[in-house]
Each structure stands twice: as C-alpha cells, then as structure tokens.
Structure 1
Amino acid sequence: MPTWFTPFMQWLALPEVGLSTVFVVAFVSATLLPMGSEPAVFGLIKLNPELFWPAILVATAGNTLGGAVSWAMGLGAHKAVDRARGSERSAGELRALAWLRRFGPKACLLSWLPVVGDPLCAVAGWLRLPFWPCVAYMAVGKLGRYVVMTSGLLWAFPGGIG
C-alpha cells in the first residue's frame, strides 16, 4: 500500500470530515455513477469505531437521497420521452410496468443490490411509482445493506489500520 494512503484515510476519517465525506460518497454512489460507498463507511468506522451508528445512518441518508434523485431523474426522463413521442409505451416498458406494478414501491427494497439497485430507483420514477413509499423502502434496504456489509467487514478484518 502506498505510504500516503494511511494518512489520507486517517484525515478522511476525522469525525469533523469523515461523516460529511461518507454522506457525499454515499449520495453520489446511489446515482447511476459506478462507485461504491462501502469502503468509505468501513474506513471511517475502522478508524473511529464509536462512529459505527452515526456513519451507518449518515451513509443510509446520503444513499437514500441519491436514490430519490435517481427516482426524480427517471420521472423527468419519462416526461421528456412522453413529450417527444406522445404517450405510447413500448412492449418492454409494459412488461416492466406490470412487474413493478405487482410489487409497487416494495420493489425499491432491492435498491441495495449491486448493478440493478440504482437503476431500479430510476425505473420506479419512470413508472411513476409513489415517491415517499419508494423512498421509505429504499431507506430500509440501504440501511440493511450498510449494517450487514459493515458488520461483516469488521468481522472479517478485526485488526487495526496502520
């Protein structure tokens, strides 16, 4: 590991910097950008174990807010497409609509999944699923992911850093 990495991680893990860093990383990673927030959460908690719950809650809030932005982007994209082509729907969209209508906002529980979770939030907006129930299910799924992943990483890597 490069010599600069540990001091950099320690700086990012300072409580006055670390929680805001976790929020921003979690927010950005919940959009359609391909990145993960778990390393930032794990690094902060590894260096500041007393911040376990604050970091989990801040990451959940940032990731859920990012999912809500993805939902809004999906809704906006749908409105733009409707204006451009009329209100016709493709066969694929109708199948997705039927599947998601069956599950409704509960499908957003799966927003924690890698690869499909973030686009699922956008599709929920595209399909005009109710915003607040979608956000609530996103939050539950994302909270569960952070608790399980971070606890698992702490169990797998129990030693200190540095």
Structure 2
Amino acid sequence: MPFESWGLIGLFASAFISSTVAPGGSEAVLAYLVSRHGHSVLELVAIASVGNTLGALTTWWLGQWGAQKYPAESLVKDRQRSLQTIRRWGAWALLLSWLPLIGDGLCFAAGWLRLSFLASLTAIFFGKVLRYIAVAYVFV
C-alpha cells in the first residue's frame, strides 16, 4: 500500500471516530492533507464526509437499539433536548449533525424516534459535506 494511502485511511478513520461519541479531530487531518496538495480536495472531502456520515449513522443505529431497551424517561437531560429538537424539526435538524456534542445527540435521537433512514442519511450527509467543504476551502 503506497504511503499516500495511509493519509486517506487516517482521514476516514478520524472522521468516523469523531462522528461517534468518541472525540476526534478530523478537521485537523483534513486541513493538513489539503494543505499538502497531495490529493484532490474533492477526494479528501468525499472521504471525510463518508467516514463522518457512517460514524453518525452508527450513533443513529445506537439510538434505535436503545429505544428498544430503555424508556425515553431514562435518557439523560441533553438527550431529552435532542429528542425535542428532532420531534420539532424532523430530519432537517440532522443538517446540524456536524456540531460537536450536539450532533451526536441529534443522531441518537433521530434513531430513537425511528426517523426514516433515507431522510436521516441524506440530511446527515449534506450537513457533513458542507462542513468539510468549508474546512477545505480555508486551507486550499
């Protein structure tokens, strides 16, 4: 595997991890790779967006799984606010899934409330793409 591929794998892994409940720094990895000019910006944004979307969908799935096991009253207070936001705005709220801490709660709540997978995927993906385009633009 060429050395350059490790950067892409690292970007994907960082993006995936940072979109779950674990902290990560995918924006820093993307900024570094964009500034090196070793890959196309479109390729880097696509890899980061897909990795981050898959991480968010993992959190969405955990919400669905959790809804089967535990009543809504057992959720911690920040998840209760996320549930209210998703109930009010539906999948549109997932455009903000890129926000640190808040986005994880929104994805979890969307899964908990069994929002449409396709609507959730679409909103999450577009929110992530727009964020990574903005980050890449700053470092091109």
TM-score category of the 2 structures, normalised to the smaller one: 0.7 to 0.9
Matched-pair contact (CA < 8 Å) for 1:25–1:40: yes
Whether 2:21 is the aligned partner of 1:32: answer yes
Distance 1:26 1:69, change over 3 A: same
Distance (Å, rounded) in 2 between the aligned partners of 1:113 and 1:94: 17
Kindly name which structure, 1 or 2, has the bigger radius of gyration based on alpha carbons. 1
> Structure with the greater relative contact order (CA < 8 A, sep ≥ 6): 1 or 2?
2
Structure 2 CA distance for partners of 1:95 and 1:31, relative to 1, 3 Å? closer
Residue pair 1:44, 1:51 contacting (<8 A) in 2 also: no
TM-score by length of 2: 0.85
Provide the residue aligned with 1:11 in structure 2. none
Q: How far 1:152 sits from its partner (Å)? A: 1.7
User: TM-score, with normalisation over the residues of structure 1?
Assistant: 0.74
Structure 2 gap ranges (5+)? none
Residue 146 (str. 1) matches residue 132 (str. 2): yes
Letter in 2 for 1:81: Y
Q: Which moved more, 1:142-151 or 1:100-109?
A: 100-109
Identity %: 35
- Runs of 5+ unmatched residues, structure 1: 1-13, 83-88, 155-162
Moved beyond 4 Å, runs of 4+: 92-98
**Partner residue, 1:68:** 57
Alignment partner of 1:112: what SS?
Answer: coil
Choose from 102, 112, 116 the match for 2:98: 112
| Aligned residues: CA RMSD | 2.2
| Change beyond 3 A, Cα 1:114–1:54 | same
Which residue of 89, 101, 114 corresponds with 2:87? 101
Q: Distance in 1 between matches of 2:39 and 2:23?
A: 29
Aligned positions, number: 135
CA distance 1:77–1:149, shift in 2 (3 Å)? same
Q: How does 1:5-24 map to 2 (within 5 A)?
A: 14-24=3-13
